[in-house]
Amino acid sequence: MASLQTPGTQGSAPTKNPELLAWVAKMAQMTQPDQIVWCDGSEEEKKRLTELAVKQGILIPLNPQKRPGCYLHRSNPNDVARVEHLTFICTTNKEDAGPTNNWMEPESAYTKLSHLFTGSMKGRTMYVVPYVMGPLGSPFAKVGVELTDSVYVVLNMRIMTRMGRAALEMLGDSGEFNRGLHSTGDLDPERRFICHFPQDNTIWSIGSGYGGNALLGKKCMALRIGSYLGQHEGWLAEHMLILGVTSPQGETTYVAAAFPSACGKTNFAMMIPPKEYAGWKIETVGDDIAWMRVGPDGRLWAINPEAGYFGVAPGTNTKSNPNAMACVARDTLFTNVALTADGDVWWEGMDGEVPEELTDWQGRPWKKGSTEKAAHPNSRFTAPMTNNPVLSPKANEPMGVPISAIIFGGRRSNTVPLVLQAFNWTHGVFLGATMGSETTAAATGKVGVVRRDPMAMLPFCGYHMGDYLQHWLNMQKAIAHPPKIFQVNWFRQDKNGKFIWPGFGENMRVLEWIVNRVHGRVPTEETLLGWVPRADQGLNTKGLDLPRESLTEVTSIKPDEWKAELKNQESFFESLGLKAPEALTLQRKLLISRLES
């Protein structure tokens, strides 16, 4: 531990990197912490910081018999989610941020936030958190350093990244690292900002302790800054899971998939195949983020930059995701879930009977039948990926895994069929670019309003969305053997508003068809919109409790619905202005002409 005599004193910093030392000193001079602690990522440090967090009431120990090594954290009730309206991309030119991002001029942002950061760590400790996004030693990996006054953030970053001395060793004397400054400040929403400076490889976040706003390696660096770096360096930073699917014959195929929130991404990444698929195996490489580069063999290779899972708790159970439930059995940090009388956690949608009494996410008594939620709807768990019983042995492979298929999927009650394959790369990019999910009544007051979420990256793209889509198109030139691209939709509904497709493990049937298409093993039926499974040699329906007419409905393509869909896409492309890629607008016109003819 290095104590400060005057703001900015480094003490016994475990590095001689001149740029890192100078930056930490400058930030300390502004924020004025009482002391600086350089984090080393050791077990001893974890024990010491956990005990400190318990002593300060930041963490509540859970029942060691039921949840060994697990703790509960309750955040401020005004600080429970990402704040998109207070998240900014700070580029010199507003046009570079694009119409889908909030923009602030860099010097104005630095000035505004400097006032908020000045003295913000008085009476507090500044933790220096060096971390690596990606497997240690990977040529794809990136180093970041987060300065924070939150021990909760430190303990989460320890789970979510490769943190500590290993990161400093990987950095060496290089000045190429992401500079992240974070302070919880006074948690006043009026003084809460998450600002990204892509041209400086810098993130400043103040006024929030919530994961997506405060764990700067996650959405901030891995996606917003990462996507900007990817455009300039020729790779892709994507909001995608990565899984490996192995057949009984031992053939493993790797798939990346983009799903917006509430579309089952983590469930898919950790899927357990149904009993009819004995001998098949799903293994998780990553559940949320993929960094993809072209390998020397001309294929697209992907790593998961994270080391843990920051998952939504409500709705997670042994039916929806048994492997996630295994992940949170030990060494997990829970945020804003409910607490049982015997020191265990609970949330809505969990297995078993609802307890008669609980302590809710705000620490208040809660009784069964209450109209208020016991756990916050966005309550979370932070679990090490090593807890995952189906973790891929390739999860720490420095070169990552070769991607054979890319899947895009949203939540649509009609129009989009269960699965279709794009005709080619450009058509596949079009499917990803126009992907959308329907809003719920709770969120908007209207059901079925389609919100466009290109590649599930709308909240996370660090530059102009038009340039981002063009970058996807440009990547085809560099990928000699591109993955095949698919679109899926688990959420088609019948006339009574009931989901037709059973989902969860049964999604394995769709994944098997995708794998067979990748390897050229099954014929397809060509439609105006893409290739779909044939009725005679399509999806494996053995043991599937689904009437033939329901399967026909969930896989159907209805021209009138697609005419409306293509019309609805028009405003999205118009919003991109002159940067709407011509290849994609032509795809839309081509589809319209096909449908009309």
The alpha carbon dihedral of 432, 381, 306, 12 has a sign of positive
Q: How far apart are CA 79 and CA 89, in angstroms?
A: 21
Q: How far apart are CA 252 and CA 398, in angstroms?
A: 18
Q: Could you tell me the two tokens for 148?
A: 């924070």
Percent of the chain beyond pLDDT 70? 96
Q: Alpha helix (H) ranges present in 140-225?
A: 151-160, 165-171, 211-214
Tens digit of pLDDT for each residue in 518-542? 999 999 999 999 999 998 888 999 9
Nearest to 590 by CA among 559, 572, 566, 574: 566
3-state SS, 323-345, equals: HHHHHCCCCCEEECCEECCCCCE
pLDDT value of position 536: 82
**Ligand-binding site membership of 214 (annotated):** no
**Ligand-binding site membership of 164 (annotated):** no
Residue 217 near residue 251 (C-beta atoms within 8 A)? no
Return the beta strands (E) in 187-336 as ranges: 193-197, 202-206, 236-238, 241-246, 252-258, 281-286, 290-294, 300-303, 308-312, 333-335
**How many of the other CB atoms lie within 10 Å of CB of 477?**
9
Tens digit of pLDDT for each residue in 461-507? 999 999 999 999 999 999 999 999 999 999 999 999 999 999 999 99
The separation between CA 432 and the C-alpha centre of its own chain, rounded to angstroms, equals 16
Tens digit of pLDDT for each residue in 60-113? 999 999 999 999 999 999 999 889 999 999 999 999 999 999 999 999 999 999
3-state SS, 539-587, equals: CCCCCCCCCHHHHHHHCCCCHHHHHHHHHHCHHHHHHCHHHCCHHHHHH
**How many of the other CB atoms lie within 10 Å of CB of 504?**
18
**Ligand-binding site membership of 400 (annotated):** no
Sheet holding 357-359, edge to edge: 345-346, 338-339, 357-359, 365-367
The residue type of 242 is I
Entry pTM: 0.96
**Ligand-binding site membership of 250 (annotated):** no
pLDDT-derived band at 597, boundaries 50, 70, 90 = confident
Percent of the chain beyond pLDDT 90? 92
Mean of pLDDT values over 446-457:
84
Phi, psi of 278 (to 5 degrees): -55, 130
For the chain, domains (ranges, CATH) are: 2-58+82-233 (3.40.449.10), 238-308+392-596 (3.90.228.20), 310-387 (2.170.8.10)
Residues labelled as active-site residues: 263
Q: Could you tell me the two tokens for 211?
A: 């994961």
446 vs 166: which has the higher pLDDT: 166
Q: How far apart are CA 164 and CA 183, in angstroms?
A: 19
**Ligand-binding site membership of 448 (annotated):** no
**Ligand-binding site membership of 288 (annotated):** yes
Element (H, E) at 53: helix 43-55
Q: How far apart are CA 96 and CA 92, in angstroms?
A: 8
Element (H, E) at 515: helix 508-518
Residue 410 near residue 263 (C-beta atoms within 8 A)? yes
Tens digit of pLDDT for each residue in 555-595? 999 999 999 999 999 999 999 999 999 999 999 999 999 89
pLDDT value of position 88: 98
Phi, psi of 542 (to 5 degrees): -60, 125
**Ligand-binding site membership of 411 (annotated):** yes
Residue 260 near residue 411 (C-beta atoms within 8 A)? yes
Nearest to 267 by CA among 284, 247, 245: 284
Q: How far apart are CA 155 and CA 497, in angstroms?
A: 43
Element (H, E) at 408: strand 401-409
3-state SS class at 27: helix
